[in-house]
Chain A
Amino acid sequence: EVQLVQSGGEVKKPGESLKISCKGSGYNFATYWIGWVRQMPGQGLEWMGIIYPSDSDTRYSPSFQGQVTISVDKSISTAYLQWSSLKASDTAMYYCARRSNPSDFDYWGQGTLVIVSS
């Protein structure tokens, strides 16, 4: 069974760093892109970026380029989303999802809630 299990919710202060994770299982992790999607409170879904675990090829939405870093450790089937300096506006639910062909995001993680507040 394909599963994406994300790390638990986080409460952080502005300026702090954070790295959240998404662990895949039940499939060949290295050969499927893993993407990240943001949902701010009361808002819609926003596509942030995506990484191919086999070679770490990464694409970002211009809106998120330079704001976050997407990385992967294929040896432990885990993708990451990280911030070096959080802002209150980073408060959101973050989902990881597996990209398939031809369906794009076919499996999703359960979401990680990040709250940034002083």
Chain B
Amino acid sequence: EIVMTQSPATLSVSPGERATLSCRATQSVTSNLAWYQLKPGQAPRLLIYGASTRATGIPARFSGSGSGTEFTLTISSLQSEDFAVYYCQQYYKWPRTFGQGTKLEIK
């Protein structure tokens, strides 16, 4: 199966600053890559699909890039509500697989 590795495990950033999260696949997933946000007590929320397309209702400060095996999620100016755990997921091959997550915390 395709293994997804996210880095860093924890990222400390101040509100208003930019956050850059990385995700790497053990083999090419072309652009079949999604990013999800998970907050305590809430269901996961789809942010980005197709590596770079924002899901419905997602603010423009969230952007995704990459293809093949290297992907990035960028949050341009962090708001208080953005501090959460972020997961990448490949949907190129069965079984689908998630990264282990990056916790974005307030610095």
Chain A interface residues (CB < 8 Å from chain B): 35, 37, 44-47, 49-50, 59-62, 95, 97, 99, 102-106, 108-111
Q: Please, how many angstroms separate the alpha-carbon atoms of A60 and B94 in the complex?
A: 8
* A104 lies within 8 A of B89 (CB): yes
Counting contact residues on chain B (CB < 8 A from A), the size range is: 20 to 34
B99 at the interface (CB under 8 A from A): yes
CB contacts between A and B, total, < 8 Å:
66
Could you list 26 examples of A-B contacts with CB < 8 Å?
A37-B44, A37-B98, A44-B87, A44-B100, A45-B38, A47-B97, A50-B96, A61-B95, A61-B97, A62-B1, A62-B95, A95-B44, A97-B44, A99-B91, A102-B50, A103-B49, A104-B46, A104-B89, A104-B91, A104-B96, A105-B34, A105-B36, A106-B49, A109-B43, A110-B43, A111-B43
CB under 8 Å from chain A, chain B span 62-107: 85, 87, 89, 91, 94-101
Q: Please, how many angstroms separate the alpha-carbon atoms of A37 and B46 in the complex?
A: 14
Residues on B with beta carbons closer than 8 Å to the beta carbon of A111: 43
Residues on A with beta carbons closer than 8 Å to the beta carbon of B100: 44
**B96 contact from A35, A95, A102, Cβ within 8 A:** A35
Q: Please, how many angstroms separate the alpha-carbon atoms of A102 and B50 in the complex?
A: 7
* A104 lies within 8 A of B44 (CB): no
Q: Please, how many angstroms separate the alpha-carbon atoms of A47 and B96 in the complex?
A: 6
A4's nearest neighbour on chain B, judged by CB, is B43
Q: How far is the CB of A4 from chain B (nearest CB, A)?
A: 9
* A45 lies within 8 A of B44 (CB): yes
Q: Please, how many angstroms separate the alpha-carbon atoms of A63 and B97 in the complex?
A: 11
Residues on B with beta carbons closer than 8 Å to the beta carbon of A37: 44, 98
A61's nearest neighbour on chain B, judged by CB, is B95
* B43 lies within 8 A of A105 (CB): no
Residues on B with beta carbons closer than 8 Å to the beta carbon of A35: 96
Q: How far is the CB of B45 from chain A (nearest CB, A)?
A: 8
